[in-house]
């Protein structure tokens, strides 16, 4: 069984278990990303690759509205269960879908974030162009990566960040910069940019 595959697209009973592991283990990384993203009460926010939905729940306590898209039906069920009340109140919307074909109208969101998901995108530049489509002019994006594979090093984290920054530039984003925070096992690198 390939555990890495379960973290990219959780499926079946093992995927359900992996979702619970992600919910418990990722708080420090998420808090770092939220600190640089600085969500505001009037904002409409999108999370791509929400996993078990813990960050959607966290964002919904600040932002006016948060949508999330994930390609794992197991994670959609887990996140929907975790955010039942906010969904009922219309503050959260959870969708099964793909980052390269988002189920949202043009210029919908003030901020977009993705945590340990962008490294699985097969066409980063094409996907970022699609993400740009659903962002308002001047909207901010934050893509965070903390390599977790066996043998991951600080260099892996910074290489991944440079790759995302390059893809953002090619996709037409501006004000691209990175922030990093030391964590175990390696640092989390968050690449930020703005839609032109």
Q: Dig out the tokens for 158 from the structure.
A: 């910074």
Q: How does pLDDT run across 26-71, given as a tens digit for each residue?
A: 788 899 999 999 999 999 999 999 989 999 999 999 999 999 999 9
The pTM assigned to this predicted structure is 0.88
> Is residue 16's pLDDT more than 80?
no
More confident residue, 2 or 57: 57
Q: Dig out the tokens for 71 from the structure.
A: 């390609």
End-to-end Cα spacing for the chain: 43
The distance from CA 120 to its chain's CA centroid, rounded to whole angstroms, is 11
Mean pLDDT of the chain: 90
Confidence of residue 149 (pLDDT cuts 50, 70, 90): confident
Could you please report the per-residue DSSP string of 141-184? EEEEE---STT--HHHHHHHHHHHHHHHHHTT-EEEEEEEE--S
Contact between residue 44 and residue 109 where contact means Cβ atoms under 8 Å apart = yes
| CA nearest neighbour of 156 among 166, 165, 147 | 147
d(CA 26, CA 124): 23
pLDDT value of position 1:
46
| 12-22: average pLDDT | 55
d(CA 14, CA 175): 40
Q: What radius of gyration, in Å, describes the C-alpha atoms of the chain? A: 15
In the three-class reduction of DSSP (H, G, I as helix; E, B as strand; rest coil), residue 107 is classed as: coil
Confidence of residue 84 (pLDDT cuts 50, 70, 90): very high
Q: Could you tell me what percent of the chain has a pLDDT over 90? A: 80
Query: Which residues share a beta bridge with 155?
Result: none
> Please, what are the domains in the chain?
3-194 (3.40.50.150)
């Amino acid at each position: 069984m390939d555990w890495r595959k379960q973290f990219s697209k959780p499926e079946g009973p093992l995927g359900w278990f992996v979702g619970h592991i992600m919910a418990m283990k990722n708080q420090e990384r998420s808090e770092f990303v939220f600190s640089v993203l600085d969500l505001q009460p009037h904002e409409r926010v999108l999370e791509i690759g929400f996993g078990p939905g813990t960050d959607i729940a966290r964002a919904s306590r600040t932002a006016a509205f948060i949508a999330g898209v994930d390609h794992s039906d197991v994670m959609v069920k887990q996140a929907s269960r975790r955010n039942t009340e906010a969904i009922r109140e219309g503050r959260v919307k959870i969708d099964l879908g793909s980052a390269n074909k988002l189920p949202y109208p043009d210029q919908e969101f003030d901020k977009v974030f993705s945590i340990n998901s962008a490294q699985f995108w097969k066409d980063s530049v094409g996907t970022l162009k699609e993400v740009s489509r659903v962002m308002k002019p001047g909207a901010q994006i934050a893509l965070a990566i903390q390599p977790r594979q066996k043998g991951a090093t600080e260099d892996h984290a910074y290489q991944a960040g440079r790759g995302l920054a390059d893809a953002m530039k090619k996709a037409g984003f501006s004000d691209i910069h990175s922030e990093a925070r030391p964590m175990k096992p390696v640092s989390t690198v968050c690449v930020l940019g703005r839609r032109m």
